[in-house]
A and B are shown apart, each in its own frame.
Chain A
C-alpha cells in the first residue's frame, strides 16, 4: 500500500502565476482534505472533497480551488499566487465523512513563491 502520495515534491513559482498540486489517497479512502502549513505554524484546513464535491471549506479565498476525480484523487489549484502562499501543502485522506480511524497524511508539496 503506497499510502497517500503527492506531486510534485517541490515547486517554485513566480507571483501572479497559477499552480496545480496533486494527491492520490490511500487505497480504500474516498475523502480527501487539503491543508496549508506556513513555516512555524500548524496546518490550516483549506477544503475537503467527498464524492467529487467540496463538502467543507476553511477560511481561504476563492483563489484556492480544487477538484476530486472519480478515482478519488484530487487536485488543488491556486491562482494569482502571492508571496504569502509559500507553504507546505498537505493532502490527507480518510474513508467516509464520519467516525472511524483518523486521517492519513501525504509527505506534502513545498511551494515557494518568489
Chain B
C-alpha cells in the first residue's frame, strides 16, 4: 500500500526566501509524481508533473526533483511571494490503474 508523507506540515517564511517542501513515498513503482497547489476551500491546481524517468521539472520559480529509488521528491520555491501562500500537495499514482495517493500537504504562509 502506497503511503505519502509530506514534511513540514506547516511553514511560515518571510517574503523573498527560498524554500523546500519535502515529499516521501513508500512504493517506488510509480508512474509519475505531481505537485499541486490548493487555496483554502478551492480545488487543486497542478504545478508540476515529473514522469518516473525524469529527475526534475521546472516552471518559473518552481523546481521539483524526483529520486524514485529513495522514494523522495522536493519542491523548491525561489524568491517566495505572499501569493504563494497555499497548501502544497504531493500526489503519486501507483498500481495497475494508477490510483493516486496524496500526502496531507504542507501549509505555506509567506509573510510580506
- Report A's interface with B, CB cutoff 8 A: 33, 35, 40-45, 48, 50, 55-56, 58, 88, 90, 92, 94, 97-99, 101-108, 110
Contact = CB atoms under 8 A, between A and B. Distances in A.
Nearest to B95: A56
Interface of B: 4, 31-32, 34, 36, 41-46, 49, 89, 91, 93, 95-105
B100 A92 contact: yes
Nearest to B34: A102
A48 B42 contact: no
A90 to B, nearest CB: 6
B43 A107 contact: yes
Contact of B102 (A43, A55, A88, A104): A43
A45 B1 CA distance: 13
Sorted nearest first, the 10 A-B pairs with minimum C-beta distance are A42-B102, A107-B43, A105-B44, A56-B97, A108-B43, A102-B49, A102-B34, A42-B104, A43-B102, A55-B97
B89 A98 contact: no
Given A42-B89, A42-B105, A102 B32 contact: yes
| B interface secondary structure, majority | strand
A41 B43 CA distance: 13
B100 A33 contact: yes
A99 B99 CA distance: 12
A33 to B, nearest CB: 7
Contact of B46 (A35, A97, A102): A102
Given A42-B105, A56-B95, 11 more contacts: A35-B100, A42-B103, A43-B100, A48-B99, A90-B44, A94-B98, A98-B31, A99-B31, A101-B49, A102-B93, A110-B41
A81 to B, nearest CB: 20
A97 B100 contact: no
Contacts of A94: 98
A60 B27 CA distance: 22
A55 B96 CA distance: 10
